[in-house]
């Protein structure tokens, strides 16, 4: 090589660019996985990230990649990263970003974007859109990086915003031009920022701890409600010690199930209406008084006066719906540790109250037991769920993904959970479409088998990702509770024309064949026995499997357990 050629080569080695700085910044901060859909301008970023040792999983639709990133954040406490193209790809990912923010999951949506100069003059660039402005109201923070030298600080800001305090979704806008911007390799390296202690402990004030303990001591019928914030905290031992030392019945919200086993003697899951109505002091731990808890008032909560203690990392959460007698602002681990330290030789909860709750719970459990043995033909939900609850009992380490209406509500009640963060579902919005994204991220992030219990409608929102599941050979078993439609498959079109009713699907659809199309295992199960064999095989083999569980089309009810939220036509009632 000539001297001039050698000098050129040396100079090349000393340069870096936007592509490499993004990848280096992600790696420096411990990000290992990107949930991705390729295209201009981020195709090469995905390729290069894969070459650099990151796991880059390519999805069929950004919404599913986004939901995957959001639940990766929930499961790991590290921001899940979703990578998309500009305008339409960005918009497809945005629902998941908003979902992450609403559910308090740390996530970063990184989208490539078009040329700023053209976008701002609205001159019609390829996929033109002012993405930053659109993302802002839907996430916790939104940033744009214009200079390669700012990539390090930009990613650091995104990570800290996603993880600290109440976690949420963050948008990071990376214009196409940024990726090929060049700078000196050494200066580039120095520009990277490693985020130290992204989610610092937040210790509650001692006076707030004392106030809360005084309220708790005064209770005759106390109740602890564990929310998904308590599951997110990964303070499992502290939660367990606190609940057990308190001797107080606890009610787990959907994604907090398994934090303590649903079979724990203090679990009031099967006595929900009793404990909500009759309790006099309610301690919320990482649970918000939103619609899922009827805003802390009204019929569900009974007439007797109640006092609330609330543990939340977000001060603004206090008094959101009702007066909070004892606010405890801090992270769940720190707050419960402080309470434990202040409890001294705690006498335990009121025994007569615990006995009342236990009795109610045992009655309800006994009432349900025969239903799970149902051999009805066609299958009803309970017959199928009897099999699935046993499957989770035998594989308590498996992760359960759950969505649908009846398929959601009945599963939540039927399937006991035994370990923390094993149940992931529709969350705060009751959103359909999380299924396959959640399943993929759960398998990738935890290495555990995944069992998805899906309504046939719910599955349809992300069904194409079965190809992704097959492509990456993930240990995912999907059970579709197929009742031919939304809520039921029996609705009738009252117009007299030939269109089907608005809530019904093709009768006798064979979703199992979708899985076979991509080399996975498909099974059509018409009895609990067939379902049992197929689920056991899938969990044992780890092969991508889809079981079409044929359910009586008349079995469901409108909107599952939340039919009361449907507005009613005044005219219809006349």
Ligand X SMILES: Cc1ncc(C[n+]2csc(CCOP(=O)(O)OP(=O)(O)O)c2C)c(N)n1
Are 429 and 102 contacting, i.e. CB atoms less than 8 angstroms apart?
yes
Kind and range of the H or E run holding 450: strand 450-455
Residue 483 engages ligand X in binding (rule: CB under 6 A): yes
**Does residue 152 touch Mg ion according to CB under 5 A?**
no
Q: Which of 119, 431, 450, 534 binds ligand X (CB under 6 A)?
A: 431
Q: Check residue 455 for interaction with Mg ion (CB under 5 A).
A: yes
Identify which of 21, 53, 16 has the alpha carbon closest to the alpha carbon of residue 34.
Answer: 53
Strand 15-17, strand 182-184: pairing: antiparallel
The interface region with ligand X, picked from 15-23, 31-39, 117-125, 480-488 by CB under 6 A, is 480-488
Beta strands 222-226 and 521-525, pairing class: unpaired
Pick the binder of ligand X from 170, 405, 417, 474 (CB under 6 A): 405
Residues 6 or more apart whose CB falls under 8 angstroms from that of 24 comprise 16, 188, 189, 192
CB of 390 to Mg ion, least distance (A): 22
* Angle value at C-alpha 209, between 206 and 214, nearest 5 degrees: 125
Q: Which of 70, 411, 457, 527 binds ligand X (CB under 6 A)?
A: 457
Q: Which of 148, 284, 432, 550 binds ligand X (CB under 6 A)?
A: 432
For position 552 contacting Mg ion by CB under 5 A, the verdict is no
Identify which of residues 496 and 567 has a Cβ nearer to ligand X in the complex: 567
CB-closest chain residue to ligand X: 455
Q: Write the secondary structure of 94-131 as one string of H (helix), E (strand) and C (coil).
A: HHHHHHHHHHCCCEEEEEEECCHHHHHCCCCCCCCCCH
Q: How far is the CB of 452 from ligand X (least distance, A)?
A: 12
* Residue 456 within binding range of Mg ion, rule CB under 5 A: yes
Binding of ligand X by 404 (CB under 6 A): yes
* DSSP H or E stretch at residue 171: strand 169-175
Residue 387 beta carbon to Mg ion: minimum distance, rounded to whole angstroms: 18
Residue 84 contacts ligand X per CB under 6 A = no
* Residue 446 C-beta: closest distance to ligand X, Å: 25
Give the integer Cα–Cα distance in Å for 449 and 86: 34
Binding of ligand X by 378 (CB under 6 A):
no
Q: Which of 92, 406, 527, 548 binds ligand X (CB under 6 A)?
A: 406
Instruction: Tell me the per-residue interface mask from 464 to 483 with Mg ion, x by CB under 5 A, - otherwise.
Output: -------------------x
Q: Which is nearer to ligand X, 269 or 455 (CB)?
A: 455
Run of H or E residues at 144? strand 141-144
Q: Which residues contact 280 (CB under 8 A, 6 or more apart)?
A: 219, 220, 221, 222, 304, 305, 306, 307
CB 61 within 8 A of CB 465: yes
Strands in 476-482's sheet, in edge-to-edge order, are 423-425, 399-403, 450-455, 476-482, 545-550, 521-525
Query: Cβ atoms within 10 A of the Cβ of 401, count?
Result: 26
Supply the minimum distance, in Å, between the C-beta of residue 372 and ligand X. Answer: 17
Least distance in angstroms from the C-beta of 219 to Mg ion: 42
The interface with ligand X within residues 167-186 (CB under 6 A) comprises none
Q: Residues touching ligand X: how many (CB under 6 A)?
A: 18
Nearer to Mg ion, 191 or 483 (CB): 483
Binding to Mg ion by residue 262, rule CB under 5 A? no
Name the DSSP letter for residue 14.
T
What backbone phi and psi angles, to 5 degrees, belong to 185? Answer: -65, -40
- C-alpha to C-alpha distance for 557 and 407, rounded to whole angstroms: 10
User: Nearest approach, Cβ of 296 to ligand X (angstroms)?
Assistant: 23
Task: Choose among Mg ion, ligand X, none what residue 18 binds, the Cβ cut-off being 5 to 8 Å by kind.
Answer: none
Could you tell which of Mg ion, ligand X, none binds residue 432, using a CB distance below 5 to 8 A set by kind?
ligand X
Q: How far is the CB of 501 from Mg ion (least distance, A)?
A: 13
CA atoms of 406 and 493, how far apart (whole Å)? 22
Sign of CA dihedral 561, 564, 567, 573: positive
Minimal distance, residue 458 CB to Mg ion, in Å: 8
Least distance (Å) between residue 301 CB and ligand X = 25
425 binds ligand X (CB under 6 A): no
Q: How far is CA 266 from CA 226, 419, 422, in A?
A: 12, 15, 20
| Least CB distance to Mg ion at residue 432 (A) | 11
Span of 8-16, 43-51, 135-143, 431-439 interacting with ligand X by CB under 6 A = 431-439
Nearer to Mg ion, 40 or 562 (CB): 562
Of the CA atoms within 13 Å of residue 441, those in its CB half-sphere come to: 32
Q: Binders of ligand X among 342-371, rule CB under 6 A? A: none
Residue ranges that bind Mg ion, judged by CB under 5 A: 455-456, 483
Residue ranges that bind ligand X, judged by CB under 6 A: 404-407, 430-433, 455-458, 481, 483, 486-487, 556, 560
């Amino acid at each position: 090589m000539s001297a001039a050629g050698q000098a050129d080569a040396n100079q090349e080695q000393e340069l870096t660019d936007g592509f490499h700085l993004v990848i280096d910044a992600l790696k420096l901060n411990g990000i290992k996985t990107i949930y991705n859909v390729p295209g201009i301008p981020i195709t090469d970023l995905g390729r290069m990230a894969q070459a650099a040792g990151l796991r880059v999983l390519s999805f069929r639709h950004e919404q599913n990649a986004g939901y995957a990133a959001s639940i990766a954040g929930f499961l790991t406490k590290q921001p899940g990263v979703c990578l998309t193209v500009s305008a339409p790809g960005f918009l497809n990912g945005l629902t998941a970003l908003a979902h992450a923010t609403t559910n308090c999951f740390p996530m970063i949506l990184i989208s490539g974007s078009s040329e700023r100069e053209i976008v701002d003059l609205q001159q019609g660039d390829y996929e033109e859109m002012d993405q930053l402005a659109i993302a802002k109201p839907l996430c916790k923070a939104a940033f744009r990086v214009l200079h390669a030298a700012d990539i390090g600080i930009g990613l650091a800001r995104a990570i800290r915003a996603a993880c600290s305090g109440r976690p949420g979704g963050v948008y990071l806008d990376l214009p196409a031009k940024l990726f090929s911007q060049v700078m000196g390799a050494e200066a580039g390296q120095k520009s990277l920022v490693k985020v130290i202690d992204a989610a610092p402990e937040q210790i509650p004030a001692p006076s707030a701890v004392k106030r809360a303990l005084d309220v708790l001591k005064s209770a005759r019928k106390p109740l602890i409600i564990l929310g998904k914030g308590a599951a997110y905290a990964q303070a499992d031992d502290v939660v367990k010690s606190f609940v057990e030392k308190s001797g107080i019945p606890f009610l787990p919200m959907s994604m907090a199930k398994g934090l303590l086993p649903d079979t724990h003697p203090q679990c009031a899951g099967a006595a929900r209406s009793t404990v909500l109505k009759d309790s006099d002091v309610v301690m919320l731990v990482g649970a918000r008084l939103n619609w899922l808890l009827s805003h802390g008032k009204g019929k569900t909560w009974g007439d007797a006066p109640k006092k609330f203690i609330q543990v939340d990392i977000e001060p603004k959460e206090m008094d959101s719906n009702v007066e909070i007698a004892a606010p405890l602002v801090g992270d769940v681990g720190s707050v419960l540790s402080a309470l434990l330290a202040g409890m001294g030789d705690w006498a335990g909860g009121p025994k007569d109250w615990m006995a009342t709750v236990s009795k109610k719970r045992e009655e309800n459990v006994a009432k349900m037991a025969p239903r799970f043995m149902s051999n009805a033909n066609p299958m009803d939900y309970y017959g199928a769920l009897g099999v699935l609850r046993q499957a989770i009992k035998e594989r308590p380490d498996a992760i359960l993904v759950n969505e649908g209406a009846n398929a959601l509500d009945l599963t939540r009640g039927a399937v006991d959970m035994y370990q923390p963060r094993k149940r992931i579902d529709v969350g705060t919005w009751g959103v359909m479409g999380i299924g396959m994204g959640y399943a993929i991220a759960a398998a990738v992030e935890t290495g555990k088998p995944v069992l998805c219990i899906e309504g046939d409608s719910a599955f349809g929102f992300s069904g194409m990702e079965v190809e992704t599941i097959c492509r990456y050979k993930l240990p995912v078993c999907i059970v579709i509770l197929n009742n031919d439609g939304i809520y039921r498959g029996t609705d009738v079109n009252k117009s007299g024309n030939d269109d089907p009713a608005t809530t019904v699907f093709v009768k006798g659809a064979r979703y199992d064949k979708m899985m076979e199309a991509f080399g996975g295992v498909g099974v059509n199960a018409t009895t609990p026995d067939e379902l049992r064999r197929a689920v056991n095989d899938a969990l044992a083999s780890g092969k991508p499997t889809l079981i079409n569980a044929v359910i009586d089309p008349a079995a469901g009810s409108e909107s599952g357990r939340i039919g009361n939220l449907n507005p009613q036509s005044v005219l219809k009632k006349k």
